[in-house]
A and B are shown apart, each in its own frame.
Chain A
Amino acid sequence: MSRPSPAPRGARSQRTRSASRLRAWLRHHRAMSVDSTRRLLRQPLGSLLTMLAIAIALVLPAALWLTLDSARLLDAELDASATLTAYLASGVDDGEAGRIEEAIAAQPQVAHTRLVTAAEGMAEFQQALGLADALARLDDNPLPASVVVTPVDPSPEAVRRLSADLGQLAGVAEVRLDLAWLERLRQLAELGRRVALALAVLFGLGVLLVVGNTIRLAVESRRQEIEVVMLIGATHAFVRRPFLYSGAWYGLGGGLLAWGLLALGNQWLAAPVRALAASYGANFAMPQLGGMGSATLLICSTLLGWLGAWIAVSRHLAGIRPR
């Protein structure tokens, strides 16, 4: 008869022990997630109000972020359409204008050029302003020919440099670039981004407080239970677990409600925004959260709920000593 050597048996029992410990841990997680859900459902109105408070705190920074995101899209579009206009000297005829255009097109920083002759300029002007009658009475065409230049690099410095270079060319009277308003828009967007970040931090703290306060009350109402389980050997993690699940559920519920509110707001604002954009001749689509944005919103709100619960329970665990 052979006896099993003790070493592998010990190793195996070690393995089974840690495996069973893992199973016990998972079992408790499952039990607590179900238990905390049941507790939320037992007080549907209270739970809903808490989630709504979280949702409202989340909607504002999320909406601002969405708006800025769409502004960034707009920004990119504007960059792509940044052009300079080189007005030629008034005496330049069409043939000479063509040669100047070629000279401009030959510059390395120029991506594309379009010549607008004096006559074409007049036609565009008449069409844009609807002043056909008044302008037709003029004897001469007072408008100079111009070359619309699309730069290779649309960044403000590059455009400014190109504009100076073009100004040096013979036959070019003046170079116009409308960058000032673009710059202002960028600065506004930057300001908005910072405001959004500050708001997100503030409202994130708000979510922590809302969840923390709710969990504090829950801890208070289960104080006796906590004391008893600590007396019979529960670890802090064991005591904390159901509350962390509650916090995470509150956060997730708040996130889902915030998502719904954003979608609702989007619907509600879509028509007037489209009309406004159309009046500027722009095609502006309402910003959407999209898959990534939705996931970010839900994950952040769940984590905030969890963290709020963690802080609240830990503070109270330190205060609760079994009698």
Chain B
Amino acid sequence: MIVFEHVGKRYGGRFEALANLDFRVRRGEMVFLTGHSGAGKSSLLRLIMRLERPSRGRILVAGHDIARLHASQVPFYRRQIGVVFQDHQLLFDRSIYHNVALPLEIRGIEPREAARRVRAALDKVGLLHRERALPIELSGGEQQRVGIARAVVNKPALLLADEPTGNLDPQLSADIMALFEDFNRIGTTVMIASHDLALIARLRHRTLRLREGRLVADEEAA
């Protein structure tokens, strides 16, 4: 699903955020990405989302060299990826329902079909009863679940998450991770950047460990 071949990323010609990354993630895998803040986790995710291009090497996603995508194709590429952000990135001027419906609206899905999928996604994250609420009325954990519902409503083949449990207490974090495992179980490839080592250790999935932009460990699930 994801192939990194000698990928490096420099910013401003000097600072080396990522160096010589080589790994592949199979379709249907669930992978954690760990390391201290500044180790390059976010940079790596940004490369996969094609928010940036690698300075060196090649990244293949679903068989396509994504650096070669024309600017006009990038939106269509991103529609195949669900992304969950640490700070949720919800739109505060519209209801939970409309936040989750946004990717479908962008794709031009017919409203009745969209409603069905939005409700299914909200049901999955346990927030169907809050569809009319505004994001501000929800707790941090609930907001994160809305973010997850928005990321999966498109049924993406690849789900990326950047510190999805960053601000949550351990119980809520475990709930969120269980959700990701559910999506992985139905075939979605999942990649989660997190520095919550205790939680990761408990979940037993493959873990890529970054330090100062280099891949220092690639541990298969025990």
Contact = CB atoms under 8 A, between A and B. Distances in A.
A317 to B, nearest CB: 11
A233 B79 contact: yes
Given A224-B91, A225-B91, A232-B83, A25 B102 contact: no
B28 to A, nearest CB: 22
Interface residues of B, number: 22
Interface string A23-51: 11101100000000000000000000000
B89 A231 contact: yes
Nearest to B91: A225
Contact of A321 (B51, B91, B108, B111): B51
Interface in B72-95: 72, 75-79, 83, 89, 91, 93
Contacts of A229: 102, 106
Contact of B108 (A25, A225, A232, A322): A25
A27 B78 contact: no
Interface string A230-244: 111111101000000
Given A225-B91, A228-B91, A321-B51, A233 B76 contact: yes
B103 interface: yes
A21 interface: yes
A20 B110 contact: yes
Contacts of B79: 232-233
A27 B89 CA distance: 25
A233 B89 contact: no
Contact of B106 (A21, A25, A225, A234): A234
A238 B106 contact: yes
Contact of A232 (B51, B102, B109, B110): B102
B108 A27 contact: yes
Contacts of B78: 231-233
B149 interface: no
Do most interface residues of chain A lie in helix, strand or loop, or is the interface mixed?
helix
Given A24-B110, A228-B89, A233 B75 contact: yes
B83 A24 contact: no
A235 B108 CA distance: 12
Interface in B90-127: 91, 93, 102-103, 105-111
A225 B76 CA distance: 18
Contacts of B109: 24
A228 B93 CA distance: 13
Interface of B: 49, 51, 72, 75-79, 83, 89, 91, 93, 102-103, 105-111, 150
Given A23-B108, A24-B107, A231-B83, 14 more contacts: A21-B108, A23-B110, A24-B109, A224-B91, A227-B89, A228-B89, A231-B51, A233-B77, A233-B103, A233-B106, A233-B107, A234-B106, A236-B75, A322-B51
Interface of A: 20-21, 23-25, 27-28, 224-225, 227-236, 238, 321-322
The 3 closest A-B pairs by CB, nearest first: A24-B108, A233-B79, A233-B78
19 contacts: A23-B108, A27-B111, A227-B89, A228-B89, A229-B106, A231-B51, A231-B89, A232-B79, A232-B150, A233-B75, A233-B76, A233-B77, A233-B78, A233-B103, A233-B107, A235-B72, A235-B75, A236-B75, A322-B51
